[in-house]
Amino acid sequence: MSGHSKWSTIKRQKSAQDAKRGAIFTKIANSITIAVKQGGGIGDPSQNFRLRLAIDNARAVNMPKENIERAIKRALEKDASTFEEITYEGFAPGGISVIVEAASDNTTRTTAEVKSLFNKSGASFGHPGSVSYQFKQAGRIIAQKETKTFDDIFSIAVEAGAEDIEEAGDEVFIYTLPDNLQSVKNFIEKAGLVIEEAEIIREPVTIISITDKGQKEKIEDFISSLENLDDVHKVYTNLE
């Protein structure tokens, strides 16, 4: 019986992992579709930098080639005209600013789901522009340190034209101006760094620190719930 019980546990874990993997693939497929639309309907990654970034992120999580091609094809078809990118703004408990980026073929459904989570979590759903001014767009590259020291990577990043760099364990976060993301990414790749992710993000101008552990956990649960919605692909906050 113990063997059967163990196998049942493994099956449940595998099912959960497969579901999580599928959800990640769905979000990335949506980001690919949006990248094609934002790029003026260009489905060639060599001529659409945002699409190339989305494909790179897809490959980083081992998304199958056919899934990537299917997402591009969907973006090029007429059916994609109903697929929209939506941005929501508001405040989490404690006055934390929140921006939610979603992509959906049914904005009414997505808006209702996001609003419902805000209400259930004691958060305040805001109007467009209510918190976006507290964030700025920036390019962010996450690279592996591997055999290089932080000083080595810092020198490479500076030479590449990066704005800032942070050390995070075995990784480094390299920040750039949005328009310089492509050139910096190409430079540090040629320098031998392995890039895990490169994208345009919303970086908070000021950070808010929450010292109450219970309240911070409540905020983090709220953010996780938003991220778990099928149509949501990015959530930004100014929480430390």
Q: Which residues pair with 87 in a beta bridge?
A: 101
pLDDT in the model for residue 78? 58
Amino acid code (one letter) for 152: D
Residue 72 CA to residue 44 CA, distance in Å, equals: 9
Q: Are residues 215 and 111 in the same domain?
A: yes
Residues 46-86 have pLDDT tens digits of 899 888 888 988 888 889 999 999 888 888 875 556 778 89
Range of the domain at 194: 85-240
Q: Domain total for the chain?
A: 2
DSSP state, residue 149? -
- Asked whether the predicted pLDDT for residue 141 surpasses 90, the reply is yes
Residues 50, 100, single domain; the answer is no
Q: 223 and 207, same structural domain?
A: yes
Same structural domain for residues 195 and 101?
yes
Comparing CA positions, the residue from 163, 183, 182 lying closest to residue 174 is: 163
Written in H, E and C, the secondary structure of 171-230 is: EEEEEECHHHHHHHHHHHHHCCCEEEEEEEEEEECCCECCCCHHHHHHHHHHHHHHHCCC
Could you tell me if 57 and 160 lie in one domain? no
**Between these two residues, 14 and 94, which has the higher pLDDT value?**
94
pLDDT of residue 135 exceeding 90, the answer is yes
State whether 217 and 147 are in the same domain: yes
Question: Which pLDDT belongs to residue 20?
Answer: 58
What does the pLDDT average to over 114-143?
94
Q: How many Å apart are CA 83 and CA 73, to the nearest integer?
A: 13
pLDDT reading at 237 higher than 60: yes
Residues 98 and 209 in one domain: yes
**Percent of the chain beyond pLDDT 90?**
53
In a shared domain, residues 77 and 143? no
Contacts of 13 (CB under 8 A, 6+ apart): none
For residues 94 and 165, state if they share a domain: yes
User: Which residue type, as a one-letter code, is found at position 77?
Assistant: E
What pLDDT shows up at residue 12?
39
Cα–Cα dist 126/99, whole Å: 10
- 196 φ/ψ angles, rounded to the nearest 5 degrees: -90, -35
Indicate if 54 and 96 belong to the same structural domain. no
Confidence of residue 8 (pLDDT cuts 50, 70, 90): very low
Mean pLDDT of 219-239: 92
The pLDDT, as a whole number, for residue 21 is: 60
Which candidate, 186, 194, 130, 188, places its Cα nearest to that of 158? Answer: 188
- How confident is the model over 170-224, as pLDDT tens digits? 999 999 999 999 999 999 999 999 888 898 999 999 999 999 999 999 999 999 9
Residue found under tokens 């020291």: 149
Average pLDDT over residues 122-138: 94
Locate tokens 């019980």: which residue?
Answer: 5
d(CA 124, CA 91): 5
Please check whether residue 4 is in contact with residue 16, taking contact to mean a CB–CB distance below 8 angstroms.
Answer: no
Instruction: Give the end of a domain, one of 25, 51, 81.
Output: 81
Domain boundary among 81, 100, 129: 81
CATH code (residue 103)? 3.30.70.980
